[in-house]
């Protein structure tokens, strides 16, 4: 009891000076995504590559007397799913639907000058899959020195990171030794950070989007599974608008995941990811109604096993191994306010799929964030 009392008295005696020191620092939470690939791919990387996106969370701390300098901690994490269909009746074996996972931690020191930031840091990553359990004594942990270059616009930041791996192996030019992040700062007192105001009459503008897409579900059913008639997916995107010509470049991605509780046949009933890159044109005379046109890469785990069989038989090219459906994305939409958009999108497959599939047509609602 005496030890606890001394500890409390010690804390309160130093509390005023501690609080005063904290006021010298400013902190902001960070949320974003890390875009990357890795060297754990199945087919040769030149023939089949996959752009992976990991959730990014962290914090950035700045000392108010030196606002051009900052320190960041960032954590990224993602899981790679494998929708293996087990035969019916069930045989006595089990394959995990969670194919692998990847998590990383980054500590970095940054120097900022106007819209640009330069960083030096340390990055540690851990990849886990079935090999970890085949060789349980081996730790699949990598450590890197990291150099980064960023462009900052308001609370948004676009960063390229180059990694130099020195442990477990030495590597500089590997496919997984670079990645790109999109970060957005939340909360915190902004006066502790160097600010560069965006001109009100700027010719371009940046918009982040997040929201939902709804669609009709078409899926192969196994014994005991309930039929899903309607599905919703989470969407995220970025739009870069050229105001003078009412045209935008945009990138959008949406994810749909449906899990089975306790199923002996498959834990993952459905997993679909659509990635679209394209152009959007707004019609000012129609209150901002817009049309969009782009190229789509889709991973559909309801049909990917069939695609793999066709690749093995030589009926499809190996570049469909990850994105097993590729085609055109066409859409029309309109803003219902400055903050919200509604759009109808259709994906017209050019490769990997034939015929009509209702899962390629969706209605989206997006919330717009102006950094």
Mean of pLDDT over the chain: 83
Average pLDDT over residues 134-142: 76
With residue 3 as reference, give the H or E element that holds it. helix 2-22
> Is the pLDDT at 89 greater than 70, yes or no?
no
Q: Is 11 helix (H, G, I), strand (E, B) or coil?
A: helix
| pLDDT more than 90, % of the chain | 43
- Biggest CA–CA distance in the chain, Å, is 78
Number of alpha carbons in the 13 Å side-chain half-sphere of residue 339: 0
Would you call 75 exposed, middle or buried from its count of C-beta atoms within 10 A (0-12, 13-18, 19+)? middle
Q: Is 242 helix (H, G, I), strand (E, B) or coil?
A: strand
Q: Is 348 helix (H, G, I), strand (E, B) or coil?
A: strand
Task: Indicate the length of the chain as a whole number.
Answer: 371
Do 24-192 and 204-369 share a fold? yes
> Is the pLDDT at 71 greater than 60, yes or no?
yes
Instruction: Domain ranges for the chain, please list them.
Output: 24-192, 204-369
User: What pLDDT, on the 0 to 100 scale, is given for residue 159?
Assistant: 94
Q: Which CATH architecture has domain 24-192?
A: Beta Barrel (2.40)
Average pLDDT over residues 66-85: 84
Q: Specify the CATH number of the domain 204-369.
A: 2.40.160.20
Over residues 225-279, the pLDDT tens digits come to 788 889 999 999 999 999 889 999 999 999 999 888 777 777 788 899 999 999 9
Residue 244: φ, ψ to 5°: -65, -35
Higher confidence at residue 128 or residue 163? 163
Split at pLDDT 50, 70, 90, the class of 20 is: very low
Provide the whole-model pTM. 0.79
User: What pLDDT, on the 0 to 100 scale, is given for residue 18?
Assistant: 45
User: What pLDDT, on the 0 to 100 scale, is given for residue 21?
Assistant: 54
With residue 289 as reference, give the H or E element that holds it. strand 289-300
Distance CA 81, CA 247 (A): 36
> Is the pLDDT at 189 greater than 60, yes or no?
no
Residue reference for tokens 């015929």: 355
Over residues 276-300, the pLDDT tens digits come to 999 999 988 788 899 999 999 999 9
Residue reference for tokens 């269909």: 85
Which three-class secondary structure string do you get for 37-100?
Answer: CCCCCCCCCCCCCCCEEEEEEEEEEEECCCCCEEEEEEEEEEEEECCCCCCCCCCCCCCCCEEE
Q: How far is CA 333 from CA 39, 159, 201, 292, 316, in A?
A: 39, 30, 25, 8, 35
Distance CA 79, CA 55 (A): 10
């Amino acid at each position: 009891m005496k030890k606890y009392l001394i500890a409390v008295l010690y804390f309160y005696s130093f509390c005023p000076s501690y609080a005063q020191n904290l006021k010298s620092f400013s902190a902001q939470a960070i949320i974003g995504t890390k875009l990357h690939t890795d060297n754990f791919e199945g087919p040769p990387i030149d023939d089949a590559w996959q752009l992976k996106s990991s959730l990014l969370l962290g914090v950035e701390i700045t000392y108010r007397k030196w606002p051009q300098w900052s320190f960041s901690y960032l954590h990224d994490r993602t899981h790679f799913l494998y929708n293996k269909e087990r035969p019916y009746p069930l045989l006595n074996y089990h394959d995990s639907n969670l194919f692998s996972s990847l998590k990383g931690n980054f500590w970095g020191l940054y120097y900022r000058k106007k819209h640009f930031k330069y960083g030096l840091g340390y990055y540690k990553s851990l990849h886990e899959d079935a090999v970890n359990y085949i060789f349980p004594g081996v730790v699949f942990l990598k450590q890197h020195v990291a150099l980064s270059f960023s462009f900052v616009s308001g609370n948004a930041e676009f960063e390229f990171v180059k990694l130099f791996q020195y442990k477990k192996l030495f590597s500089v030019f590997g496919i997984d030794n670079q990645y790109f992040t999109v970060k957005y700062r939340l909360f915190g007192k902004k006066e502790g950070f160097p600010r560069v105001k965006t001109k009100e009459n700027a010719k371009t503008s940046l918009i982040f989007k997040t929201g939902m897409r709804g669609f009709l579900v078409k899926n192969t059913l196994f014994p005991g599974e309930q039929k899903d008639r309607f599905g919703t997916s989470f969407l995220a995107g970025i739009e870069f608008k050229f105001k003078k010509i009412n045209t935008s470049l945009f990138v959008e991605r949406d994810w749909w995941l449906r899990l089975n509780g306790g199923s002996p046949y498959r834990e993952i009933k459905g997993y679909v990811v659509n990635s679209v890159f394209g152009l959007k044109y707004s019609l000012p005379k129609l209150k901002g109604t817009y049309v969009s046109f782009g190229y789509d890469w889709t991973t559909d785990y309801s049909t990917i096993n069939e695609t793999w069989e066709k690749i093995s038989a030589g009926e499809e090219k190996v570049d469909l191994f990850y994105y097993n459906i590729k085609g055109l994305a066409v859409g029309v939409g309109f803003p219902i306010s400055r903050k919200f958009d509604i759009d109808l999108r259709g994906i017209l497959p050019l490769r990997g799929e034939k015929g009509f599939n209702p899962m390629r047509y969706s209605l989206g609602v997006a919330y717009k964030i102006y950094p």
